A and B are shown apart, each in its own frame.
Chain A
């Protein structure tokens, strides 16, 4: 393994789900895959480092399906606390250089490279930090199963109107 720079992570993250869904449910990512995991191999829990990021992810998710975000309300925004010892930070250019990938590759529509990266670090570390494809200034924390075990659920808030996201952004 090349000389990757791993970091510790000890902070809050956010996630959004349908109303009444478990905050740590990742069966969808296991069954159908995601940016950093191919389908049916392993689950990943996709979270954002900021409520602003999770709002942007929610809007992008809705639009990618050709629907307005308000059609998917109510949703629940979850505030989670995560303590991890070994995280690969892909926003660090040193790590990207070793992986021969650019910041743009991490947020593009072609997931082959990112899924390959996800597979490479499965079993090696607890999570990945990457840029958000929904909001380039925001970052996401994507947790492997070993990382999900170190998540504490702090709070959940129901969002009935899109304007309520702003309240979450202020409160979280």
Chain B
């Protein structure tokens, strides 16, 4: 049976994120992510939680952005965040990310 953290990494890979990016987003590294996948090491609980959080956030954002633009949008600096959404995830700007997700879902008037 596939380990839980493998499933989380697969979900992120399915959204066209590289191991390097997954490493950065989970505050680990490409090498560490690969060692988890190769079963050389197992992630500590805190990294599994971060993988969960990142997968949930990226999936929520992906549900709001046109798939054709998503990866470019994720990496591009954005007026709302004052940085790229990717950087906002790394920096743990969860309030701002949640605000973006909720208000974009509901199309709040500006």
Contact = CB atoms under 8 A, between A and B. Distances in A.
Interface in B52-98: 63-66, 69, 73, 78-80
Interface string A150-169: 00000000000000000000
A75 B104 CA distance: 10
Contact of B107 (A15, A31, A71, A133): A15
A164 to B, nearest CB: 13
Interface size of A as a range:
35 or more
Nearest to B110: A64
B13 interface: no
A133 B110 contact: yes
B31 interface: no
A72 B110 contact: no
A132 B78 CA distance: 25
Given A32-B99, A71-B69, A21 B109 contact: no
Interface residues of B, number: 20
Contacts of A20: 63
Given A18-B64, A73-B66, A140 B105 contact: no
Contact of B110 (A15, A29, A60, A74): A60
Given A60-B110, A72-B65, A133-B110, A66 B79 contact: yes
Contacts of A32: 99, 102-103, 108
A134 B102 contact: no
A18 B62 CA distance: 11
Contact of B102 (A31, A46, A71): A31
Interface of B: 63-66, 69, 73, 78-80, 99-100, 102-110
10 smallest A-B Cβ distances: which pairs? Answer: A66-B79, A64-B110, A28-B102, A28-B106, A65-B80, A28-B103, A46-B109, A18-B105, A71-B69, A16-B107
